């Protein structure tokens, strides 16, 4: 293993986390969490592992699977989706799609994100997996992949089912994963829009998350309500370099759901700041390349290395240890070649981020080796 040891400014974890015991936020929701989207650090918690029905917040996982299909090229925004009898017959929140109608993925994703349309999400489930049951299996597989031990899905929409539940913590993790697909915010940030039907008529779509319009920085993600679940909301907001994720579950009313979310987000923005400790735009240094046209290449972090600090906190010292196996050509730009360990003052590994190259490295040919040999010989003369 080739290692580069780079010493920079600080990781500090002396952040005042608020929990339910002695809670000064006085939330009315049964369960709640506030998380830094970049690091995943919990900034507030209240009963975050309590299993509860999550209603239409379920669609966060459904949208995650849709976005994965789009980003890996298996699905396009312009692909057509035929509405089945099953999809058109869904109860709960809907946009009244009719069997036999055809819509684009773009149309249906907008209906899901803005109007929480059960008929639209079922249509997308059938488009991706062939059946709702197969899609639900994918949802549970993804939950297991993300390490969500307290989540189980019985459907893609969130209507009450005894085997359908999650937690505030698990919902925050799902939301954080969804936010890696940045295009989703183009949909969840819409406050109002229209769906044009095949007959030329239009349906008015209004975001069920009113905070998109009334709270500065909110651009997603998903509300929920059923009799058993109460009022729920997974929200995200960004101000300057700080993006937060909040979840409230089983609020007594829509107003208290919004109020609790606003309280959480305001606490986060007033109490914390994000600090970039090393930018993905800056080279970590050069490493040797084997069998390549070039003998060495600059390596970079795949994403910025950041930390979350209290607003009064100053960085201290930390170490940044880059671990990379041999780089053997050919290698494509963007290829992950290793990891970077972030180490605190006591030698503990706090986090690990991926390391990439940002240029194509072509494999050396016969004449490249000839040139390299010639340079070696002449340099010794």
Q: Please, are residues 360 and 333 in contact by the beta-carbon 8 Å criterion?
A: yes
59 labelled catalytic: yes
Cα–Cα dist 55/53, whole Å: 6
* Residue among 29, 56, 93, 115 flagged as catalytic: 56
Question: Which is the catalytic residue, given 59, 127, 142, 250?
Answer: 59
Catalytic residue among 62, 116, 189, 271: 116
Beta bridge partners of 357: 299
Q: Are the C-beta atoms of residues 319 and 343 closer than 8 Å to each other?
A: yes
**Peptide bond between residue 330 and the one before it cis (omega within 30 degrees of 0):** yes
Q: Is 266 a catalytic residue?
A: no
Residue 263, burial from CB neighbour count under 10 angstroms (0-12, 13-18, 19+): buried
Buried b (16+ CB within 10 A) or exposed e, 152-172: bbbbbbbbeeeebbbbbbbbb
Do the Cβ atoms of 103 and 80 come closer than 8 Å? yes
Q: Which are the contacts of 256, defined by CB distance < 8 A and separation ≥ 6?
A: 28, 29, 231
Catalytic residues: 56, 59, 116
């Amino acid at each position: 293993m080739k290692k580069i040891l780079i010493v920079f400014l600080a990781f500090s974890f002396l952040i005042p986390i608020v929990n339910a015991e002695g809670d000064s936020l006085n939330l009315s929701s049964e369960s709640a969490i506030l998380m830094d989207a970049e690091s995943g650090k919990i900034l507030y918690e209240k009963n975050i592992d309590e299993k509860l029905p999550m209603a239409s917040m379920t669609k966060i996982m459904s949208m995650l699977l849709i976005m994965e299909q789009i980003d890996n090229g298996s699905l396009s925004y312009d692909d057509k989706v035929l509405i089945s009898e099953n999809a058109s017959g869904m109860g709960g929140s809907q946009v009244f799609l009719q069997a036999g109608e055809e819509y684009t993925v773009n149309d249906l994703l907008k209906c899901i994100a803005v109007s929480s349309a059960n008929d639209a999400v079922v249509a997308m489930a059938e488009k991706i997996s062939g059946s709702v049951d197969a899609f639900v299996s994918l949802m549970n597989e993804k939950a297991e992949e993300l390490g969500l031990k307290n989540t189980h899905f019985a459907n893609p929409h969130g209507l009450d089912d005894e085997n359908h539940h999650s937690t505030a913590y698990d919902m925050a993790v799902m939301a954080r994963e969804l936010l890696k697909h940045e295009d989703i915010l183009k949909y969840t940030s819409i406050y109002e829009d229209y769906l044009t039907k095949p007959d030329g008529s239009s349906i008015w779509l209004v975001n069920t998350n009113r905070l998109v319009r009334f709270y500065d920085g909110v651009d997603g993600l998903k509300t929920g309500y059923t009799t058993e679940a109460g009022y729920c909301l997974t929200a995200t907001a960004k101000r300057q370099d700080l993006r937060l994720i909040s979840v409230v579950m089983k609020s007594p009313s829509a107003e208290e759901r919004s109020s609790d979310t606003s309280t959480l987000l305001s606490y986060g923005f007033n109490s914390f700041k994000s600090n970039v400790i090393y930018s993905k735009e800056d080279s970590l240094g050069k490493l040797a390349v084997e069998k390549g046209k070039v003998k060495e290449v600059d390596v970079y972090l795949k994403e910025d290395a950041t930390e979350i600090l209290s607003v009064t906190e100053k960085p201290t010292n930390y170490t940044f240890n880059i671990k990379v196996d041999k780089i053997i050509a050919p290698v494509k730009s963007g290829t992950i070649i290793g990891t970077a360990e972030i180490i605190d003052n006591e030698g503990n590994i706090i986090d690990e981020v991926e390391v990439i190259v940002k240029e194509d490295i072509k494999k050396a040919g016969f004449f490249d080796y000839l040139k390299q040999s010639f340079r070696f010989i002449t340099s010794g003369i």
